[in-house]
Structure 1
Amino acid sequence: MNPIITKADHNTIKSLIANLPDHLKTAEIRQLTNELNRAQVVADDKIPKDVIQLNSYFEIEEINSKQQINFTVTLPNKANIAEKRVSILSPLGIALIGFRKGMTVQWTLPGGPKKLKILKVEQAIEEAKIQTL
């Protein structure tokens, strides 16, 4: 089960990692690099709409506790937990990027190993489109 990532997201995330200071290149960042290296990179217009990408809204359920949460995956400078925006560099962002609605992802988060089922994925309307409405 390899992640699927658009060429634009792949380039953006790789650049973000490359520009991080060394002291911020944690084990999680190495995991994200590994995910990017094994990802299927596709043209931006070829990615299925139910795949979590940068700026995707998602709803997930932790299988064991049945707890449901929802966030939007963003770049670090736009992350804000109070506004339900989680950074791509966070453990949750790393765990879910490139995976589809209906999939279950096993990942170690700060609270320990978790099984996360992706219940819903919605893509953000591009800002350029919003401005023309």
Structure 2
Amino acid sequence: MTAKTKGTRLPAITIARSEHARLSNLADMLAERDPHSAEQLATELDRARVIDDARMAPGIVRMGSVVEFRIDDEPPQTAELVFPKDADIARKRISVLTSVGAALIGMSAGHAIEWAARDGKPRRLSVIAVHDGVPDAHAS
């Protein structure tokens, strides 16, 4: 997800200060066990605009947000963005450590991001709608 395709700008993302700190720690802890996932998340965190939690506008994907999105030309999906311990695809809970989860963090409706999947195939994720969750509801 971090490798954009040629000529494509990455969308601006915004992350709450408390979530940025927790997610940075998570990426650091995962660096040896799963370097690819850790690097994807760390790259997104590095490019994010970090703001105080109280200044976070509604409609920005945060931990606990329920997001409607589309990957490439597939049908839209709806899922909650969660920490790894709460991930459960059957309950539509996507870990922030997946390519899709890392792509979603900090995005808003109408934003899209392109990346090269592990197999090298270009992918495009488009955010359709964001329904705010309760911050810290799924703390790690």
Asked if these proteins are the same fold (TM beyond 0.5), I'd say yes
What is the aligned-residue RMSD (CA, Å)?
A: 2.0
Q: In the alignment, what sits opposite 1:86? A: 94
Q: Which has the bigger relative contact order, CA under 8 A and spacing at least 6?
A: 2
Q: In the alignment, what sits opposite 2:45? A: 36
1:47-86 mapped onto 2 (5 Å cutoff): 47-63=56-72, 65-86=73-94
Kept in 2, the 8 Å contact 1:92–1:109? The answer is no
TM-superposed CA distance for 1:83, in Å, is 0.4
TM-superposed CA distance for 1:96, in Å, is 1.2
Q: In the alignment, what sits opposite 2:26? A: 16
CA distances 1:52-87 after superposition (whole Å, capped 9, x unpaired): 111110001234x24211110100000000000000
CA distances 1:71-123 after superposition (whole Å, capped 9, x unpaired): 10100000000000000101100111111111112123457322222111011
CA 1:38–1:60 in structure 2 vs 1: closer, same or farther (change >3 Å)? same
Q: Which moved more, 1:36-45 or 1:26-35?
A: 26-35
Alignment size in residue pairs? 126
1:83-122 mapped onto 2 (5 Å cutoff): 83-109=91-117, 112-122=121-131
TM-superposed CA distance for 1:127, in Å, is 7.5
TM-score, normalised to structure 1, is: 0.84
User: Which structure has more helix as a fraction of its residues?
Assistant: 1
TM-superposed CA distance for 1:28, in Å, is 3.0
Task: State the structure with more CA Rg.
Answer: 1
User: Which structure has more strand as a fraction of its residues?
Assistant: 1
Structure 1 SS opposite 2:24: helix
Aligned amino acid, residue 27 of structure 1: H
Aligned amino acid, residue 60 of structure 2: V
Matched, 1:4 2:11: no
Aligned amino acid, residue 27 of structure 2: I
CA distance in 1, matches of 2:74, 2:31: 37
Structure 2 SS opposite 1:120: strand
Q: Which ranges in structure 1 are unaligned for 5 or more consecutive residues?
A: 129-133
